[in-house]
Every structure is written in C-alpha cells, then in structure tokens.
Amino acid sequence: MSDRTRSIGFAVVLDNAAGNPPDSNSRIWMTVSTMQRRYDTRLQFLLLSFLVVTTACGERQDSDAIADEQIDLRVMTFNIEWGGTNVSFDKVVEAVQRSGADIVGIQEAEGNLQGLAAELGWHYNLRNYAISKYPLIEPQGADGRYVFVEVAPGKVVALANVHLPSDPAGPDQIRDGATLEEILTLERATRLPALQSYLAILPSLVDRGIPVFLTGDFNAPSHQDWTEAAVGHPIHMEQCAR
C-alpha cells in the first residue's frame, strides 16, 4: 500500500547484526555527526549528517551494476510538536523544503501528516508517520514497523520511524546528578523495550542488502546535554529553573 509522505531532522542508519560497518555491496557511505552508541543488543546505530549516498537494492547486486546506480538521498527526522501548530505550520513546511530532505520521519504529527505531505506534494504513510518524495510501499510482514521507499523502479530502501517514551527523562536525570550506570539502567528499562520489536525485524532487511534507515525522537540522553557550552542557553536555563 502506498501513501503520501515527508520530513526533517536527524537520521540513523541501522548497521548489520554483527555490529560491523556496512559491506561494499550495501554501498552505504555515511558521515558520523555525533557519537556511536551500543545497547545490550549487538546492533549499532550511527548518527548521520543528513546526506547519505546509498544504492537502494531489493537483492544484492554485483558491484559494477551498483556503481552505475548510486542514488543520493537526504533522510531526516522531525518532531514537529503539536502537529506543527505550536509555532507555525507554514514554517514546518518551509523547514522541510529548505532542508533538501527526500525522506522524513515525523513525530507528533497530531493529525497533520496528510496536510504536511499535501503542502509538499509528497507521499505519506500513516502507520510509520513518514513522508517522502518517492512512493511508499507497506510490505507484507512489516506489521507497521517499517515501510519501503521506492527510490527507483524496482529499487527500495527501508524506513522505520519511532517515538520512544519521554518519561522518566534521561537528560533530567543527568542534570540531577545520576551516575552513568543509573542512566544506562533507566534507558534499558524505559526506552530500549520500545525498540525491541524493531531490532528483531530490521536486521533481516540488512541481510538481504536493503539499506535501512531508523529515524525518530529517541528521547535519550547525550553526553552533550549538559556542557559548559550549553550554559546560558534559554533551554538550559529553563531546565535549571525546574
């Protein structure tokens, strides 16, 4: 089933199940924008800068054929907060347009996903809250956990989009002096369970040579949440006042 879609923000690519870099047949090149993180599973996520050069393939192809069919994709994630109306829905549309994104995972659409896609002239998928310049296909067996993006005739990438639980908030725990082990325990108990069904199904797509992107609002803490550089920032001051 194909809907209409679109988005902006971060992007994450799922590595192979062994936690190794993607092989040459996958033809996934990436620039790491912030950090690497491992959970108890052996899956590795790399935070990307938004430009990803990849070959979309349903089955593995020979390297010469792949080299001739490289496709440039910009994948992002965008939490538009309260359906994009908290500030300005028009600004949300403009942000996506100016980002140059081709595929976007949306969070907090609040019923406005179709409207956003319509403004952009994109495809969308309501089960994955995804929008895209390219047609979206919901494959059998996906159970709403991912959607195929047909980036060229017969060539697809897979997109999964998540919005993990926000409470208890990891950044607040860091602010309040929690230890690293306490933070990891919180993440394993609060946010990792919400990812398990995705971790169970996405590696099989990687094994088939299909590039997989995981976008989302992970609500996970970072070592960069509370730094000297953040002191004085309005968000920092608001959190400290709580």
pLDDT at 164 over 80: yes
Give the integer Cα–Cα distance in Å for 172 and 169.
5
136, 5 contact by CB (below 8 A): yes
Q: What is residue 185's predicted lDDT score, i.e. its pLDDT?
A: 95
Phi and psi based region of residue 194 (left: phi greater than 0; alpha: psi -120 to 50; beta: remaining)? alpha
Summarised one tens digit per residue, pLDDT across range 151-161 is: 999 899 999 99
Q: What is residue 38's predicted lDDT score, i.e. its pLDDT?
A: 33
What mean pLDDT, rounded, does the chain reach?
75
Q: What is residue 241's predicted lDDT score, i.e. its pLDDT?
A: 57
> What sign does the dihedral 108-113-117-118 (CA atoms) show?
negative
Instruction: Characterize the bridge pairing of strands 155-163 and 212-217.
Output: parallel
Summarised one tens digit per residue, pLDDT across range 179-188 is: 989 999 999 9
* Number of CB atoms found within 10 A of residue 127's CB: 16
Q: What percent of the chain has pLDDT over 70?
A: 66
Q: State the residue for tokens 């919005």.
A: 163
Q: What is residue 240's predicted lDDT score, i.e. its pLDDT?
A: 58
Written as one letter, the residue type at 16 is N
Summarised one tens digit per residue, pLDDT across range 175-233 is: 888 998 999 999 999 999 999 999 999 999 999 999 999 999 999 888 777 777 767 66
